[in-house]
Chains A and B, each alone.
Chain A
Amino acid sequence: MTDPSGEKADARALLSLRNINMTFGGVKALKNVSFDVMPGEVHCLAGENGSGKSTLIKIITGVYRPASGAVIDYDGQTYSHMSPVTAQNGGIQVIWQDLALFPEMTVAENIAFQTLLGRWPRFVNYGRMRETAIRALKRLGVTLDVDLPLKEFPIAQRQIVAIARALVGEAKIVFMDEPTASLTQSETDHLLDIVRTLSASGVAVVFVSHRLAEVLEISSRLTVLRDGGLVGVYSTEGMTQSRITELMTGRTFDQHVRAQPKDANPVVLEVKNLTRPGQFEDVSFTVRRGETLGITGLLGAGRTELALSLFGMLKPHSGEVVLDGKPVRFSTNREAIEAGVAYLSEDRLSLGLIQPQSIADNLVIASLDGIRTNGLLSDERKRQLVAQWVADLGVKIGKQSDAISTLSGAISSASQSPNGWRPIRNF
């Protein structure tokens, strides 16, 4: 372990940050963070959702400007903040979680996109563009039909296209923001191979992830953030998953302890032979009051479809759902919400929350019936209810009227309308 609070930048580092502070709407997102990347290393930036990983990357790539006093040393130059152009021209490439690709354009255009840039219009040299694209893919040991539009390819291959594009830009350091979140195990293995290839050719790779197994497998060093502060920089040698979890959360977990059995509790939900052809078949399980049931499987295994079927947004083809002892058959999600079923989307940013609206409005959106007095919505009831929920969840927010977008990822997840598991009629 190196000294996390070291004020002096490591001279051998390719990229070195000191005194990074960042504030969003009164909430400190980064507190005096420092961060170093060595040339050609695979470094992992780990932390829970909302720990400040994404904010840090955005500062390094010039999307955000840190509070004054920041020192960014990169490739022999010192900056007080980066700009997107400086970062890109200097060889800092990012593969964003949303990839920032152009689905309607061909693979070749996506990879060799920078040949399309420039101040003055030129004729496009499609031949050179194809060559550039094929060469970049070859460096990754991949062959794709570069003439097809990108939208024809699945997400794993799009990710490879995004990596290939970073290579065309003469990358010295590549940041990958949650690159494995939507990949299957074999696709992840392939991606990790590619990361090793990159590292061997002298490109530093910073992996931003909270999936612990990958972290241990791929990286040589690990920087852990928690609540916007630096926890420390560690060698991955001898690191265990439970140790990383401890560092990320600040709590000690014994991974062998299971939740208390709830076998004595009454069954709340019983699913019998639920089938939706092509998506899931013959699924049966029971959930008791107070129980937490995990449904796991690879992307495309039918997890989301199963959840949506229980929430009334998809119709199962056959099978039975029994809720509180009564068979139910929801034809809309409205009925499911009224019956006390809540669904928190995996894509909370676009599906789970109404971004421009306030924290309070987002919280009550599925429970509007409960804040109605004399047929009209009552601001007073809303305030009381939201205050109560926030206290129950133990989260910190600014004002109830602040926009939901001022909250970090983890807290805004918690703010997804908690209609069912805290049904309003219980108050």
Chain B
Amino acid sequence: MRKIVQSHATEFALLAVIALISLFLSLATDRFFTLGNAFDLLNTSSVNIIFAVGLLVVLIAGGIDISFAVAASVVQYVAALLLESIGGGGWFSGLLIAAILGVALGAINALLIHRFKIISIVATIATFNIYFGLLMFFTRGVSIYNLPDWLTSRVILFEHEMADGSWVEITLPVLIMVACVISTWVLITRTTTGRQLYAFGDNPEGARRFGINVGGMQFIAFGWLGLMAGIAGLVQAHYAQEVVPNALYGRELDVLAAVVLGGARLGGGKGTVLGCVLGVLMISITQNGLNLMGVSPFAFKMIIGAIILVAITLSNTNIERLLPFMREGSRR
């Protein structure tokens, strides 16, 4: 048990913090500790969790990506236009188009980073501006509201009438999110490719000496994030029932903060899917709680910024120093 706690210190710390926040919010508000609110949280966090597990893979491989959220906007917009031109399509063709577009945009980042040796933060700040600039230029900022019916109609996977007559429900985005989370988990923990990504992020020079295909690693990492971003883009369009070109602008920093909060390291080689999901949930729960407590939305960013700073500081400080009982166990 101690071994598990020790090797997943970040995840346990996050769980503890989430429990504390939840306990506080349950006492402070009537609405927080209800099934309906929990399901709402899950429904609204789905898009960010899909983004987050994609970004996690890039961080593990030692890179960073600023462009994925606007790439998702490009995917939404182009997919909506393409679907219209093929006469509507359906979930299958929609997801396929979004996935292909997303991977293509991710591959552009990988190409710039690997072929032209541009460091990932610079390359993706450039593509962030290019993608967003092209999108705004060609759309003139016009939103699309007449989406195909299948895309705008809510798909309810589970619903239940509560004692007070209100309905609680789990919708399609949650299912897609779960599929993305599981497939990312399989990729990074169960396949040789995933372990090579960790090795490459951990010690690039060592990985190179072993003959790991360094370029391949970049394409897999950024391609996977592109795939997730494409899917997230479509899911967000479904959830919002419209395509607004700048709807996802700025989302990249929220997701990045959540993933780093979940224990991924900007240097590479470190990070888990569980930590990543908990990181997103913690920020959503905090935001949700502030909402329910009637705190001004203008204060959200400030409070969330402070929480990220505190959490990162705690996870950088050796957790064993804070919890003496674990130290006993670690002495060999």
- Inter-chain contact A103/B202, CB cutoff 8 Å: yes
Chain A interface, >50% SS class:
loop
In the complex, the answer to whether B269 meets A113 with C-beta atoms within 8 Å is no
Query: Measured between alpha carbons, how far is A122 from B190 in the docked complex, in Å?
Result: 8
- What does the 1/0 interface line of B243-276 toward A look like (CB < 8 Å)? 0000000000000000000000000011000000
Chain B CB within 8 A of A149 CB = yes
Q: Are B212 and A122 in contact (CB under 8 A)?
A: no
Cβ A102 vs Cβ B192 within 8 A: no
A2 nearest CB across to chain B (Å): 32
A427 located at the interface, meaning its Cβ lies under 8 Å from any Cβ of chain B in the complex: no
* Interface residues in B, total, Cβ within 8 A: 24
Q: Separation in Å of the A245 CB from the closest CB of chain B?
A: 33
Residues 192-209 of B contacting A (Cβ, < 8 Å): 192-196, 198-199, 202-203, 205-207, 209
CB distance from A416 to the nearest CB of B (A): 23
Q: Once the chains bind, are B192 and A101 in contact (CB under 8 Å)?
A: no
- Contacting residues, chain B, for A122 (C-beta < 8 A): 191-192
The answer to whether A85 has its CB under 8 Å from any CB of chain B is: yes
B190, B199, B207: which contacts A123 (Cβ < 8 A)? B190
Cβ contact of B195, chosen from A103, A109, A148, cutoff 8 A: A109
Chain A residue at minimal CB-CB distance from B209? A100
Are B192 and A113 in contact (CB-based, < 8 A)? no
* Cβ contacts A74-101/B at 8 Å (1 or 0 each): 0000000000110010000000100011
Residue with the greatest number of chain B CB neighbours at <10 A, chosen from A96, A100, A147, A152: A100
Contacting pair A102 B198 (CB below 8 A): yes
Chain B residues near A148 (CB, 8 Å)? Answer: 3, 7
Q: Does A67 contact B (CB under 8 A)?
A: no
Asked if A116 and B190 make an inter-chain contact with CB atoms under 8 angstroms apart, the answer reads: no
* Residues of A bordering B, CB below 8 Å: 63, 84-85, 88, 96, 100-105, 109, 113-118, 121-124, 147-149, 152
29 contacts between A and B (CB under 8 A): A100-B203, A101-B203, A101-B206, A102-B198, A102-B199, A102-B207, A103-B202, A103-B269, A104-B198, A105-B195, A105-B198, A105-B199, A109-B195, A109-B199, A113-B199, A114-B210, A115-B192, A116-B192, A116-B196, A117-B196, A117-B210, A118-B192, A122-B191, A123-B191, A123-B192, A124-B191, A147-B3, A148-B3, A148-B7
The 8 A-B pairs at the shortest CB distance, nearest first, are namely: A100-B206, A121-B193, A104-B269, A102-B202, A116-B195, A104-B202, A116-B192, A102-B199
